[in-house]
């Protein structure tokens, strides 16, 4: 059998369409696989770059983070104390009203005792 540019090949159209579809699916799968690999490599590089940056922190940065954490805990303590002071203010106001009422009652009792002592 001699093959030249004028040689004709007889093939059913069904087989030809099948071959074209198979080649198209192969190309699509290859591009999807390549895209996914590129995406994974990029995210890995970014992740390792972030880790390297974090490991290169100078001691002053670490000291500042520690100071910030300490200050945050102190602020929380102050907030709790202020909430307690608000409750104390309400209690003190109530106690002052009660004391004023007791003063008035004591003055009435003193007046009654004085009046009892003056009548023989």
* pLDDT reading at 119 higher than 60: no
Closest C-alpha to 70, from 82, 78, 59, 80: 78
3-state SS class at 6: coil
Domain boundary assignment for the chain: 10-56, 58-120
**pTM of the full predicted structure?**
0.37
Q: What is the mean pLDDT of residues 24-53?
A: 90
* pLDDT reading at 4 higher than 90: no
* 3 vs 27, higher pLDDT: 27
* pLDDT reading at 120 higher than 60: no
Q: What is the mean pLDDT of residues 54-77?
A: 82
């Amino acid at each position: 059998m001699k093959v030249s540019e004028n040689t004709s090949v007889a093939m059913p159209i069904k087989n030809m369409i099948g071959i074209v579809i198979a080649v198209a699916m192969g190309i699509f799968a290859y591009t999807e696989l390549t895209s996914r690999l590129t995406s994974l490599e990029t995210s890995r590089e970014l992740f390792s770059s972030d880790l390297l940056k974090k490991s290169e922190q100078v001691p002053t940065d670490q000291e500042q983070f520690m100071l910030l954490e300490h200050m945050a805990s102190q602020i929380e303590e102050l907030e709790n104390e202020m909430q307690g002071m608000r409750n104390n203010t309400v209690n003190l106001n109530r106690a002052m009203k009660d004391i004023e009422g007791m003063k008035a009652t004591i003055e009435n009792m003193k007046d009654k005792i004085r009046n009892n002592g003056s009548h023989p």
